[in-house]
Structure 1
Amino acid sequence: MKYWIKQSHQELNKRIDQALKDTIDYENSKYLGYPVSKLDENVFYSNAPFLKDAPLLRTFIANPNNIGCHTTGKSESAFKGSQELEREVVRVLAVDIFKSKEEEYDGYIATGGTEANIQALWVYRNYFMKHHNAKHDEMVILSSVDTHYSVPKGSNLLNVDAISIPVNFDTRQIEEDVLDEIVAEQVAKGKKYFLIVANMATTMFGSVDNPDLYAKVLENHGVLYKIHVDGAFGGFIYPISNRQSTINFENPNITSITIDAHKMLQAPYGTGVFLCRKGLIENVLTKEAQYVDGMDLTLSGSRSGANAIAVWLILFSYGYYGWFEKINTLLLRTNWFCEQLDKLNVSYYRDPYMNIVTLRSNHVPADIAHKHGLVPESHDGNNDWYKVIVMDHVEIDDLKRFIDELTTVVAAQEV
């Protein structure tokens, strides 16, 4: 790891103090032209004594706006402190985790995976329109049926058709012949430009798509494509647990990646990340935002600098090796859980590098699933699966209580 190095609490506090000094102070700097101010003191007390020992809370009180994309061009000078820490976050993620070459990436802290996925589709749609004169009806989005709902949402917003590709029921993988048939059908309908969303851990199953399969089939059909990886859940675990993974920027087939810091990283909600290769994000420049000092290249526009600093604080509190230990603790708990399910002959799906275990619903009574907070595949009554995610708060004692109840059910069925 080149940049992802653990720092002491003293070092972290010092950096945040400096970032706040380099960010507009509404108490002492009377900026007349900004449509923002300090948080309302009728609700938010900014002089509480405990704030001196709470660097992140001080950041929220400072209320920095990280509008823009700070890996390219100019940025609003009033918030340069929080912007610098955001740049450090993006650099760690792009270079140390997803193996980008230096200065060959762009990215920003989004409001979540939904925004980041739509940002990718927006970039690609505009890229094909600007560089290939593509029409809306010549483009199509491809993703598996297990893909997050942000993709059909993006399809609707961008007026680009979307096709869901069936997966094998047991392996949750796209099969080459099925994909080839769908691509052939789309080509016959006049589709020339393909916007791909490949999953690095689907929301329900934790299944991981093979981006190279998409590339192989699409190249066989001679069409143009861009591949985005939705690593909203898996981005902070899969590249760490699977050291042989090729789902990164060393793979020439991959051009952008989504990560969610408010999932595995346990940052405040509303904290996702969009990463892409250089030369792409400019396709969504909003030229009309001329009052913004710099280029408005993001879907959200104004963004919380405090959320960016929250991600920075978490990453550098752990460092790579501290995070590696944490991830492996979760995987050990997940392994234990799967061993117990195997003893009970309970069917489930699990990618070996992930902390998601999805059980066949016919093995789990609905009342037990509800009691333990398992998430169903569908809430409309037509449910084949229940999901367990081994997060930081889920310890083996919690898993054991569920296993003990399931053992009683299995034993009763065998009588």
Structure 2
Amino acid sequence: MAFQIPRGTQDILPGEAEKWQLIEAKARDICRRYNYKEIRTPIFEQTELFARGVGDTTDIVQKEMYEFKDRGGRSLTLRPEGTAPVVRSYVAEKMHGWVEQPVKLYYTGPMFRYERPQSGRMRQFVQFGVEALGSADPAVDAEVMALAMDIYKELGLKQVCLVINSLGDTASRNAHREALTAHFSPRIDEFCEDCQTRLHKNPLRILDCKKDRDHELISTAPSILDYLNDESVAYFDEVKRYLDDMAIDYTVDSSLVRGLDYYNNTAFEIMLEGEGFGAITTLAGGGRYNGLVEDIGGPETPGIGFAMSFERLLMALDVQGIQLSDEAPLDAYITAIGDEAKAVVPKLLHELRASGVAADTDYTGKKMKAQMKAANRQGAKIVLLIGDEELKDNQVTLKDMKTGDQQLVSLDQAPAKTSAWLKGE
């Protein structure tokens, strides 16, 4: 029986995995510069965490979660997003009591959503995100957006656009919500069943509907910017001022709403402009979620964060022809001819690797010419040639594959000599 990979998942093979490692390393380094620390949460959580934290009117909770019962009858869910688990940990570990506030965290790992697989949208996907909990300063909003933009900028992406909006505070949202309900109610029967359900639960989600996005009432819906109170306007102005100070270009889009219920005030997406990326142009999204910590059982705590898909990032890099570093070449390759020569290779390999040298050898019985070809294919900088004759004198030949220079050294000194030669000593 031939087993097939589950739909909506992928194998990341050698040669491709190195690209993932590079973007992960870049994201980690930028987080280090911004003083964000890594957090790792379980891949599955209690189902109620997402129903309460993400929102029971969202597509994620209603249609996309991988929910299952364990042997104790408890309802568990493979995490569909990263914010709710981080906030759950923040509450459980009493991070609100830490001296240094805000608590600035980042995470990366697989997420799971049952949806129709398509280019850039998988059922198992890797998400990277940051969360800053414990400050309502608009400067933190700008910092989070700057961090996200830096990742794309430093990986070389062009035509990346930051789109922002304000969803307002509770009072502003309530006023806008009433206006939306009044706007859609007379013709709500023209919308899909999901939108009809959302009308009285969360009418803002109608604006984000994929099925009815071309309906004329969507384009004429009341703008949240017309319902922001003075406090919300002042907050949004501060966020924009900080972005201006940092020379970060942005576009204000009053129709931007995020697909999760917990957002308020600042909301943003990072999009790729230009052709070639298909219908999915969003690379990352996030916003402020004051109130989420309380919903999950913690004290009143403001927070803001974002998440990005590594799959979409890699797609964007590919569309723009940006080549990440290929598979790392070997430092050294040992070629051995003769049974006695082959017998000393494992020890020598171990010593080379212990000295920090990336090294390998042939394990399939190739002849010398084929071994040299293998060394070339793998980009080996130095080849260590061992034959039974050299071994009688306890020696090995080092060959620089770029210049062709050779050096005869003792077997015992080979690891140190190889390391020094690689350093140009």
TM-score (norm 2): 0.22
Report which of the two structures shows the higher radius of gyration computed on alpha carbons: 2
TM-score (norm 1): 0.22
Higher relative contact order (CA 8 A, sep 6+): 1
